[in-house]
Structure formats: C-alpha cells, structure tokens
C-alpha cells in the first residue's frame, strides 16, 4: 500500500481509516501486506532506521504492526520542518514524488517483491510511471553492461492498482514544483503530453495504473459523467473496462459500540440504556439541554464544499424554529462555514453545540451519543460516518449520492424496511423535509425500534471486502503477465 495517510498515525479523513482497515483485513486473511507512508515531522513513533535510498531519504519500520501489516515510514530530512500532513503548496508535490520513488526502490531495499502495489489517491498516483521509468532504466543499463537483450522489457514492473478515494483532489502542480532530478526522470515518461507546464498526478495514475478502483459502485458510475468526473471523466471512460467500485468497510476494532475505546459505556443491539447514558454525557460535555422527547442530531465532518455543510447551515434556523432538535457538531476546515456556525451556536447554546477542530474522541462520542447523524454531501465517494453510525444505532440522514446511496436505504414504516433517511435535492428544503420525517419516526416507538434494529444488524466489516480486492489483484497480475508475454513475443 502506498498512501499519504494511515490510521491512527496520520489521519485527516476516511482515506486513513480505509487504508488501515483494508491492510488489517488482508493481513488477517493471510496476505503479506506492507504499507509505505511519509514519516511526518509530527510523528512521535517508535520506529527504527531501516535503509537509506540513493537520494538520501530513508525508510523506518514502525514497531507496531496493523494486525501483521508492517508500516514503513519514508523519511526525507528536508521535510522535517513541515508540521502538517499536507501543506497545500508545492512542498506536497516534492513529498509525494519522493514517496513514489521510494515505492519503486522499496522492493530492492526490503528484499521483498510485492505481487501488486496498491496506490491510494493522487499522492501515490505517480507510482506506475516511476516503476516504468526505473524498469526502463534497468533494462537499458543491463543492455549496455551485458550487451544482451533482457529476458523481458517489463520484467521489473509490478502491477499497480490505483484507488480513487476522492477525485476532487487531483494533485495538480506546475511542473517546476517537481524537483529537477525527478522531473528529468519522469518527463522521459512523456508526462506532459498536453502541457509541459503542469502535471496532474491523478490523471497520470488513471492513465497508467494496471487497474483502477473507487470506493463505491455508485461513485464508479458517477465519475464517468461531467457532473462528478471533475474534468477527468474522459480519461476515466477510456479505462472503464478496468474500473471497479468496491465499498469501503468498517474497522470494527475501532468503531463498535461494544468495545469503542473512546466510550466509558458500551452497548450492543439489545442494550439501549448505555446509549442513553452516553447521550447524556455528550449533552453534558457540550452543554446541550434538549427538551424531553427531542432528538440529538450529530454532524462530524470535514468542512469542505463537497460535504454540503452550507446546506445544513441554511436549514438550521428553520430547524431550530420548527422542531425542538438539539445539534452536536464537530468539524474543521472552511473558515466561513466555521464562523457562520459559531454565530448560530452562540445564539442558541442549549440547542446547538459546535466544536471547531479535529477531535477523534469527540467524533466517537457524537456518533455514539446522538440519535441521528446528518450527512448532506453534494458528492460522497463512499462515506464512512454513515457506516459507523449504523452500527451505533444512530440513524443516518443522508443525501442520495455515491456511497451514501449504496449504503443507506430510506425507511418505510409500513413495510419496516430501510435503515435511514435519504433525501435527493442539494438544498435546505430537502434537508428540512428529511429531518422532519426522521423526527416522526423517532416519536413512534415501533418504527424507531425497527429502524434501529435494521441499522445495527448490518455488517460492513472489511473482512467482507477481502475477496473483492484479492480477485482484483489477481486480475491485475494476470493482465501484467499478458502484456509482458505479448511484448516479449513481438
């Protein structure tokens, strides 16, 4: 796995949970998994020096494994002064180009050849190109040295799988942002077909990875269209035959109300008293005092355009007027959304609690202690918080898009089917309708018990996705051998 994030060490969102969860599940199923991630300056980890690469960077091996999956940290001394995971500027380009080269050198250094390299998001999307470049170099060096043709022109190219966790983030940089030696190497791969001035990491990955996945079946279809493709829809359509949508799973070692390490009380489907205690503790902590019989609605999210937080804020004054709901909100990101929410929270402190920032324990407490979790995303590749909330009996209220559409089915009180509330339009009125509908279910004991039972009985364990990924890895390996055989014969 080549990644910019892996929980719990480095996390800004679902990518970290997904990489950790998939790696754990593969390792528990008997696969030999190694994860390569940058060694961020903030790490206070127990890691030992492992090896040094030709560019002076090095690998460190973390002493903790993820259920046997080993975590290697790529240390670049020049980046020691950067105190965040992402900088949002050219230093990101330098960091992740360096990581891609480390991925290519890794096999040699660790004396371990992976069967397949799984690249996550734009940060690792140059890996296929770097592997190809290094293989070509090796071939030409061997030719010069021995004056005999190598057995296969692609003999050291390992198949690659690129997972698109979110194509809203593509890694677009001026080519000058890529340090000179690596740029010279990569430009031999003709990276700048369209414009020598810019490089789009994700686009190159989509063009050159052996196989491509994304994190839900619906998002796999959506990204073929201009509305969701973010300008890459044509490139993705060219690779449609190699594109698969596989839903993310949940790491129930971290997100299960029976064992959640961030909760003082635990519960399972048939014990709701503990949930009430957790809810009361949450309200205490956030100084919320909901009226008797009123629900607590949670929201835990990055504050980005994608997440539809503005729709929620637009709806909030009406929701406060027309219902007696209380809101427990945690989020970090966009400054304008943050200050809009702060204003509302200040004027209704007993009904709206808002914590700005990133807070893992509070995220768990909100997911566990709320009655509903609201996820009004404009687009959502998979979404993890709705999967967590299902297990906690916290009913998700979601917009019908991407993985939210695949995992949340609108409750029907007549048939008793469904596990949440789903609305279609990306506007405040739809959200108001959804919340009002949900409150009706909340007030009806039979309906409420049924929807909670439906939600809590779902199983999205990562172990259930292992077969999908191993089948895909095998196909990628087969495809690579077929290409090699073809080239060799011709």
Indicate whether 365 belongs to the interface with ligand ADP (CB under 6 A).
no
Q: How far is 193 from 176, CA to CA, in rounded Å?
A: 16
- Residue 360 CB, nearest approach to ligand ADP (Å): 5
| CB-based burial label for 193 (10 Å; 0-12, 13-18, 19+) | exposed
Indicate whether 468 belongs to the interface with ligand ADP (CB under 6 A).
no
* Binding to ligand ADP in span 147-176, by CB under 6 A: 166
- Residue 123 CB, nearest approach to ligand ADP (Å): 14
Indicate whether 265 belongs to the interface with ligand ADP (CB under 6 A).
no
Indicate whether 331 belongs to the interface with ligand ADP (CB under 6 A).
yes
* Binding to ligand ADP in span 425-464, by CB under 6 A: none
Give whichever of 326 and 382 is closer to ligand ADP, judged by the CB atom.
382
Give whichever of 132 and 254 is closer to ligand ADP, judged by the CB atom.
254
Give whichever of 300 and 451 is closer to ligand ADP, judged by the CB atom.
300
Q: How far is 9 from 20, CA to CA, in rounded Å?
A: 10
Q: How far is 85 from 105, CA to CA, in rounded Å?
A: 23
| CB-based burial label for 13 (10 Å; 0-12, 13-18, 19+) | middle
Chain-centroid distance, C-alpha 18: 5
Chain-centroid distance, C-alpha 454: 25
With CB under 6 A as the contact rule, the residue among 87, 175, 324, 332 that binds ligand ADP is 332
Burial readout 414-432 (b: 16 or more C-beta within 10 A, e: otherwise): eeeebbbbbbeebbbebbb
Q: How far is 441 from 435, CA to CA, in rounded Å?
A: 10
- Residue 369 CB, nearest approach to ligand ADP (Å): 14
With CB under 6 A as the contact rule, the residue among 300, 344, 405, 434 that binds ligand ADP is 300
With CB under 6 A as the contact rule, the residue among 235, 359, 427, 468 that binds ligand ADP is 359
Which range binds ligand ADP by CB under 6 A, 10-18, 93-101, 285-293, 455-463?
10-18
User: Residue 78 contacts by C-beta under 8 Å, 6 or more apart in sequence?
Assistant: 94
Report the residue closest to ligand ADP, judged by CB.
14
Half-sphere exposure at residue 136, Cβ-oriented, CA atoms within 13 angstroms: 10
* Binding to ligand ADP in span 11-30, by CB under 6 A: 13-15, 17
Give whichever of 21 and 290 is closer to ligand ADP, judged by the CB atom.
21
Which range binds ligand ADP by CB under 6 A, 136-144, 313-321, 330-338, 389-397?
330-338
Which range binds ligand ADP by CB under 6 A, 30-38, 300-308, 411-419, 446-454?
300-308
Which range binds ligand ADP by CB under 6 A, 60-68, 224-232, 234-242, 329-337?
329-337
Q: Of the candidates 76, 79, 82, which has an alpha carbon nearest to the alpha carbon of residue 105? A: 76
Burial readout 320-349 (b: 16 or more C-beta within 10 A, e: otherwise): beebebbbbbbbebbeebbebbeebbeeee
With CB under 6 A as the contact rule, the residue among 90, 358, 430, 453 that binds ligand ADP is 358
List contacts with ligand ADP (CB under 6 A).
13-15, 17, 166, 300-302, 330-332, 358-360, 363, 382-385
């Amino acid at each position: 796995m080549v990644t910019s994030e892996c929980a719990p060490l480095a996390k800004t969102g679902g990518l970290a949970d997904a990489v950790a969860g998939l790696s754990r599940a593969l390792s528990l199923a008997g696969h030999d998994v190694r994860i390569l991630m940058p060694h961020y300056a903030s790490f206070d980890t127990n890691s030992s020096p492992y090896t040094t690469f030709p560019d002076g960077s090095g690998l460190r091996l973390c002493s903790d494994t993820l259920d046997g999956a080993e975590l290697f940290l790529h240390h670049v001394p020049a980046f020691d002064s950067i105190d965040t995971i992402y900088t949002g500027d050219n230093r990101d380009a330098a960091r992740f180009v360096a990581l891609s080269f480390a991925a290519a050198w890794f096999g040699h250094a660790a004396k371990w050849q992976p069967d397949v390299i799984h690249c996550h998001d734009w940060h690792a999307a140059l890996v296929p190109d770097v592997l190809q470049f290094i293989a070509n170099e090796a071939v030409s060096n061997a030719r010069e040295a021995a004056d005999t043709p190598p057995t296969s022109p692609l003999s050291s190219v390992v198949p690659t799988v690129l997972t698109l966790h979110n194509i809203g983030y593509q890694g677009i940089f001026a080519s000058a942002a890529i340090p000179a030696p690596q740029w010279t190497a990569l430009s031999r791969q003709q990276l700048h077909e369209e414009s020598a001035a810019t490089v789009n990491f994700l686009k190159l990955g989509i063009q050159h990875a052996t196989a491509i996945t994304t994190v839900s079946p619906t998002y796999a279809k959506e990204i073929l269209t201009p509305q969701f493709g973010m300008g890459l829809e044509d490139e993705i359509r060219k690779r449609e035959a190699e594109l698969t949508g596989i839903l993310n799973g949940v790491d129930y070692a971290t997100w299960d109300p029976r064992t959640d390490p961030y909760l003082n009380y635990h519960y399972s489907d048939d014990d709701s008293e503990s949930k009430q205690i957790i809810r009361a503790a949450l309200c205490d902590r956030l100084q919320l005092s909901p009226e008797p019989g009123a629900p607590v609605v949670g929201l835990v999210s990055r504050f980005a355009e994608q997440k539809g937080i503005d729709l929620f804020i637009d709806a909030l004054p009406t929701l406060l007027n027309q219902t007696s709901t209380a809101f427990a909100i945690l989020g970090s990101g966009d400054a304008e959304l943050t200050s809009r929410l702060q204003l509302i929270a200040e004027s209704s402190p007993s009904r709206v609690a808002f914590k700005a920032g990133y807070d893992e324990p509070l995220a768990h407490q909100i997911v566990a202690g709320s009655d509903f979790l609201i996820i009004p995303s404009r687009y959502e590749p998979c979404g993890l918080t709705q999967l967590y909330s299902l297990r906690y009996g916290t009913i998700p209220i979601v917009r019908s898009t991407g993985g939210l559409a695949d995992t949340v089915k609108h409750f029907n009180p007549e048939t008793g089917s469904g596990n949440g509330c789903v609305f279609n339009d990306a506007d405040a009125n739809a959200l108001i309708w959804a919340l009002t509908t949900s409150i009706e279910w909340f007030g009806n004991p039979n309906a409420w018990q049924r929807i909670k039972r439906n939600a809590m009985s779902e199983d999205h364990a990562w172990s259930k996705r292992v077969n999908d990924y191993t089948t895909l890895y095998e196909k990628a390996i087969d495809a690579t051998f077929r290409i090699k055989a073809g080239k060799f014969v011709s």
